[in-house]
Structure 1
């Protein structure tokens, strides 16, 4: 994994260096003739010779030909056709202005206008293009890839296994206690059998006494008193 990251860093560095290289070798746009543009020069061929001598052309630069469509064109021709202004079989030709031509190869390039006698009276251009040169980007010092640090795992909370304290219900008061069913006849409160109200209770009989009963002695007493009264 670390080797992959190092290779990725190197690739990105090379891409950045390439961008910097192109930025350093940024194309330059050359406006042909400057204010004169691409027209028949009033001073003859010397106008474009003087302009070209003040420029530095490199591969990748752009030539901008400013002209009005229908009045001029831009044709690239060979050296042999350039001198006598031979307009037959040009290397390339563009008739719609303005024209932007990118310089793709080093060497000497020749451009003329093929309209009428414009080339013969001085509407022609010769330039020398050098290879693109740019200051190479500084060498990148090798960097040591940073060690991979695994992401810190977030601990998963475990459910608590603590048993909740028991819940005590208040004991019922004496008033809330279950009522005691009243005893039914034939059963005593302690669980024994009680006599039914319909049953007769036999009272214990008194022990026999040897004293004479009042009802048995009373007649003799009254009889003795009556006889004593008459006599």
Structure 2
């Protein structure tokens, strides 16, 4: 039972730092005559996130290209094209990423996306200087990634509370071991049930 609680707690922690699925173009999807650079401008893309390209099958495709191919709308071999109409690309590395539609002249009329993928890590907070005043930390935000220290503390507190609750539930559902004296082992206490929780 205790192992189950550990697994649940681990999954809960991973869910708090999990990836984001970005539906490219939101409600518009992957289409022509849409400004994907404006769409991506205020989004935060991180390693582990997913890009989901949704479009009517047969009308569009998704090609991963380099920066030059992106600028010139040059199509690489179409054998690498994604064409399902619901294509998901997991962002595995940080850095610039470029995508275009490989159908007709769709790229030249705006069906292309360039993003910058950031590492998926929380920058550690350094120790304060000796002149540090504790009240200064209350509104501190790490400018590198915009993560508030208090938000991280709150998330970790919620995880700890949930783990404690799960542990308490699993412990309360375990039957208590009944003990009795075993005359063959010099009056040592022995459990009477082999099915008791471990």
Give the corresponding residue for 1:40.
Answer: 32
* Higher helix proportion: 2
For residues 20 and 26 of structure 2, what CA distance do their matches in structure 1 show? Answer: 14
1:193-204 paired onto structure 2 within 5 Å: none
Can you give the 5+ residue segments of structure 1 that lack an aligned partner in the other structure? 1-8, 141-149, 157-231
Scaled by the length of structure 1, what TM-score is found? 0.50
Aligned-residue CA RMSD (Å): 3.3
For residues 102 and 22 of structure 1, what CA distance do their matches in structure 2 show? Answer: 17
Give the corresponding residue for 1:82.
Answer: 70
Can you give the 5+ residue segments of structure 2 that lack an aligned partner in the other structure? 123-151, 161-176, 184-198
Residues 1:25 and 2:17 aligned together: yes
For residues 21 and 98 of structure 1, what CA distance do their matches in structure 2 show? Answer: 29
Larger radius of gyration: 1
User: Which of 86, 92, 99 is equivalent to 1:104?
Assistant: 92
**How far has the Cα of 1:22 moved from its partner?**
1.2
CA displacement 1:85-129 (0-9 Å, x = unmatched): 111247942011111222111111100001011111110000111
For residues 117 and 182 of structure 2, what CA distance do their matches in structure 1 show? Answer: 69
* Aligned length, in residue pairs: 136
Residues 1:61 and 2:53 aligned together: no
Give the corresponding residue for 1:124.
Answer: 112
For residues 119 and 67 of structure 1, what CA distance do their matches in structure 2 show? Answer: 15
**How far has the Cα of 1:48 moved from its partner?**
0.7
**How far has the Cα of 1:33 moved from its partner?**
1.0
Runs of 4+ with deviation above 4 angstroms: 11-17, 134-138
Change (3 A) 1:82 1:36: same
